[in-house]
Structure 1
Amino acid sequence: MGGHLFHFPRLPRAEYLRRERQVRAVLHQLLPGTSAGPQWFIPHVHADKPDFGDLDVLVSQDALTAPCLAEFRARLGIRQTRRVQGIESHDFGGFQVDLMATPPAELCTRFEFMSWGDLGNILGRMMRPLGLKWGESGLLYVYRRPDETHYLRTFAVSLNIDDVLRAAGLDATHWHTGFANEAAMFEWAAGASRFSARPYLSPEGDFGRRILERPGLQRFADYLKAAGWVAPAEREPPQPLEVLLSLLPQSGLAAFLQAEAQAAGRDRVRRSKFSGRLVMGLRPELRGKPLGLFMQAFTASPDFWEWVDAATPAEIETRIRVQPAPLHSQA
């Protein structure tokens, strides 16, 4: 939230660290780790960050109960709390502390994405030529059918930062041990085998707007310019699928793609046997809303598409011809 909710001034680093230690001590007592893992995380920050607008704490939404919140406020002497979209923002003596309710399955991944400033966004941009998205929900493969622009599915390739770093061509050790400062992180990230300076030095589209909105990405662009980087003339080309499969062979992506290919073939056959175009050809009186109502009623059975799979074209046409039009379409 950046401290904007209460409009508090930013805290110098030393005071921020003192407040963070207090918050950690309370959370260690209230929400100790379980057999399933930690119940909360505070994202990593750079050692040279001079001041802070707030303190973000990711908390498992299962653990963030009303009694837990009441005890948290009591132990820290908090008198003012506001809730905005699943975030409990607390006035901790003139400093904003945000407890961010997070699905348990996404707790670690969200921590990894939010750590080290804008590194998550930088890594996410490297994933795009591989057909991947890196964000708070993990490393996702985005699948689109070539012949159906509206058809989109995502597949969770990984929930582990190490897989993201391997795909980027980076040594994961540095992420886990930390960076001396933001500049050291910038140098490390720019050394990735899949890094391209073009999105930062020749920004365009949504990512160009994101650079303007996020000071950390602006600083990264300034670092690249100062280090002598030059934007390539062309965008990074999409990588062949074989490259992605070789990088993440245990992800289950190959099986997902095989299942999607089978589903696409099945749907092509189904569309060849039944469609709105077929209905209009056989029932020319049905157009617009009446056609929509007819289609809705005709396909309402839970096993409709299984029937289409087994039926002959003649059987489907006969059923279309004899199916009554919805009553309100006959008015």
Structure 2
Amino acid sequence: MGGKALKNHPTRRYHTDEYLKLYQEMEPVLQEIVQGRVELLPFYTTKETHGDMDIVVESDHLPPNWTEKVMERFASRDCYNNGDTFTFEFRDLQIDLIKATAEEFEHTLNFLSFNDLGGLLGKLANHLGFKLGHQGLQYRVKDGTNTVRVLKLTSDYLQSLEFLGYDPERFRQGFDTLREVYEYVCSSPYFYPGCCLIENQNSKNRQRDRKRPTYQGFLEFMEEEGYLERIPHPVSTREEQLQRAIDTFPGFEEALQDTYRFLELKRAAHQKFNGHMVREWSGVEGQHLGEVMMELRHTFPGVDATDFEQWVLDTDLQAIRQEVEGVVERLKPGWTAS
């Protein structure tokens, strides 16, 4: 997305009428190739030109060589593959095909619609303690800076909007101007302008957002409308929002409590046995130490990640040490060979 992924063939901006005509021509061909649903991302209606074309494609039944078929059928002269997005050139326009499963298709389509609207709403979600992205509205349980588990609250984008304080019906109506998009971002009773300021983003987002005209335009909009003075402080705590999520989403509290129990188990097991002890017992360092820990966790007979922690708590240190020494002996030949 953004129209700057291709380096080997020049592209140009398309006016909306020719842009829509091109998509109508492409849609049946893409549906035949991907063997699933294909949708053009919605945009605000007064948008005059487009630097690229963003299309969500259903990924459940993609053939192994689908990108080669795309290149062949559209006689493309350049392409770029970046994870879930395949970018190619067609008639001097950058085309971004964004993969999404059938389950997450609607959410991905809605999240990416209307010029970074989803990204701006995601900043508010993050401020409230959640994550809004391609895969839905999620809650990350952390142990310090480490994420222990990611719990999904919903894959229904309209439900996500409602939880974040937005009117789902207003979103369904679409937007005529970029200003209407900005007004929508600010319409939640939980909205806090500070969560969108560049200085409050992490390093990765600061670098990305500085290059996004929609984001820069939103900062100018907030300044012009006086939002920083009108709402200078957060209007809700993360604790309040977490309780609201527990009250709103069935099954979330149970998943949360299960994660807290696992976290307690993990902390107790780590206190009893950890990588420092493996180093003391075997002298193994660095990358090899990590390999020993990984081998011990994932190849110990009959245990999964949760059971491993319980095994540590139920087993005396001498037996754990013997198991570690056995893993080291199994791995050593591979280390010397490399």
Normalising by structure 2, we get a TM-score of 0.76
Higher Rg: 1
Name the counterpart of 1:134: 132
Matched residue pairs, number? Answer: 312
Kept in 2, the 8 Å contact 1:129–1:237? The answer is no
Q: CA-atom RMSD, angstroms?
A: 3.7
1:259-274 matches, cutoff 5 A:
259-274=258-273
Kept in 2, the 8 Å contact 1:201–1:230? The answer is no
Q: What is the distance in 2 between the residues matched to 1:273 and 1:164?
A: 41
**Any idea what the Cα deviations from partners look like across 1:49-80, whole Å, max 9, x if unmatched?**
11011211111234443579748965xxx322
Distance 1:179 1:64, change over 3 A: same
Partner of 1:49, secondary structure, is coil
Partner of 2:56, secondary structure, is strand
**Any idea what the Cα deviations from partners look like across 1:78-115, whole Å, max 9, x if unmatched?**
32254422645444333333333333333222211110
**Any idea what the Cα deviations from partners look like across 1:260-291, whole Å, max 9, x if unmatched?**
122123234433443455667xxx66445399
Distance 1:296 1:239, change over 3 A: closer
Name the counterpart of 1:110: 108
Partner of 1:187, secondary structure, is helix
Name the counterpart of 2:169: 173
**Any idea what the Cα deviations from partners look like across 1:118-147, whole Å, max 9, x if unmatched?**
11011101111332111112212111125x
Q: What is the distance in 2 between the residues matched to 1:18 and 1:323?
A: 64
Q: What is the distance in 2 between the residues matched to 1:49 and 1:58?
A: 20
1:44-55 matches, cutoff 5 A:
44-55=42-53
Distance 1:258 1:51, change over 3 A: same
Q: What is the distance in 2 between the residues matched to 1:154 and 1:228?
A: 36
**Any idea what the Cα deviations from partners look like across 1:244-269, whole Å, max 9, x if unmatched?**
323x332x221111111221232344
Normalising by structure 1, we get a TM-score of 0.77
Kept in 1, the 8 Å contact 2:190–2:236? The answer is no
Indicate the percent of aligned positions where both proteins have the same amino acid.
Answer: 21
Name the counterpart of 2:155: 159
State the Cα distance separating 1:303 from its structure 2 match: 4.8
Kept in 2, the 8 Å contact 1:31–1:40? The answer is no
**Any idea what the Cα deviations from partners look like across 1:142-195, whole Å, max 9, x if unmatched?**
11125xx43532112111111221122111001111112221221122111111
Partner of 2:228, secondary structure, is coil
The gaps in structure 1 that reach 5 residues or longer are none
1:1-331 matches, cutoff 5 A:
1-4=1-4, 5=6, 6-24=9-27, 26=29, 30=32, 39-65=37-63, 66=65, 70=69, 74=73, 78-85=74-81, 87-146=85-144, 149-200=145-196, 203-206=199-202, 207-231=205-229, 233-234=232-233, 238-240=237-239, 241-246=242-247, 248-250=248-250, 252-276=251-275, 286-289=282-285, 292=289, 301-303=300-302, 305=308, 306-311=310-315, 315-317=316-318, 320=321, 326=328
Distance 1:202 1:212, change over 3 A: closer
Q: What is the distance in 2 between the residues matched to 1:202 and 1:296?
A: 38
Distance 1:285 1:175, change over 3 A: closer
State the Cα distance separating 1:10 from its structure 2 match: 0.5
State the Cα distance separating 1:324 from its structure 2 match: 5.6
Partner of 2:238, secondary structure, is coil
Q: Aligned AA for 1:158?
A: T
Partner of 2:137, secondary structure, is strand
Kept in 2, the 8 Å contact 1:129–1:238? The answer is no
Partner of 2:259, secondary structure, is helix
